[in-house]
Amino acid sequence: MAPGGIMKKGLLAIAVLLILPVYAYGEMMYITDRIEASVRSGKGLAAGSKYLDVVRTGDKVEVLETDGEYARVRLAKGTEGWLHTRYLTATPPKAAPSNANPQDELTILRDEKIKLEQLRDQQMLKIKETEAALENLKAGCADFTKMRAELEKAQQELRLSQDLAAQLTKENEELAQNTRLMWFIFGAVAVLCGFIIGMWLQSLRNRRKPRISF
C-alpha cells in the first residue's frame, strides 16, 4: 500500500476519535465555544438542583463522571457540579465571536423545562392515585371500626345473655329444690294427719262398742 494511503487512513482515524463524544474520567477538557454555561448541583433543572458556578469559553474542567447527557466536573477553583456534555470539548476552542448567541443553551433549557413539566404531571398523577388509595383506606378503616364496634356490642350482649341464662338456671334449680321440699312436707303432714284421724276414729269405735257383763 502506498505511503499516501496509509497517511490518509491515519488522519481519518484521528478525526473519528476526535469527533466521538467519549469522556474518560479524570480527563481534562475545555468549555466549548459558548458564552457561558451554568454548573449545578444536579443534572439540569431537576428538582433540588442548585446553581453553583458558571464556566465560560476556554475554561478548563476535570471530568469526574458522566451520566447520559450530563457530566460531573471539577472546576479550577475546586467547585464540583454537573454540566451538559455538549459544552465540553477535548481541544481548546477558538475564541468565541463577539456576536455569539446563547440560543443552544436556551434550547437545552426549554427541553429540560418540558421534561420537568412531564415529570411534574407524572408526580401529580401519582399524588392523585395516592390520595385515592388513602381515601379507600380511610373508608376501609371506617368500615372496619364500625364492624369491630358491632362485634364488641354483640359479644357484650352474648355475655349478658349467658349471665341471665346462668341466673335463671340457678333459680330454677332452687325452685325445684324448694318444690321437692314442699311436697315432702305436704306428704309428711298428710301421713301424720291420716294417722291422727285413724287414731281418733279408732277411739270413737272403742267408745261405742257395748260392754257385756255377767
Position 66 in a domain? yes
Position 65 in a domain? yes
Position 127 in a domain? no
Domain CATH number, residue 52: 2.30.30.40
Position 147 in a domain? no
Position 162 in a domain? no
Position 119 in a domain? no
Where in the sequence is the domain holding 50, given as residue range(s)? 21-101
Amino acid 5: pLDDT = 52
Q: Which has the closest alpha carbon to 44: 74, 76, 72, 75?
A: 72
In one-letter notation, the amino acid at residue 40 is R
Checking if the pLDDT of 11 tops 90, the result is no
Q: Strand order in 36-40's β-sheet?
A: 51-56, 36-40, 80-84, 70-74, 60-67, 28-31, 88-89
Position 140 in a domain? no
Checking if the pLDDT of 68 tops 50, the result is yes
Give the residues across from 61 on adjacent strands.
29
Amino acid 73: pLDDT = 92
Give the residues across from 87 on adjacent strands.
none
Instruction: Write down the mean pLDDT value for the chain.
Output: 75
Question: Which pTM value belongs to this model?
Answer: 0.36
Domain count, the chain: 1
Where residue 46 falls among pLDDT bands split at 50, 70, 90? low
Position 150 in a domain? no
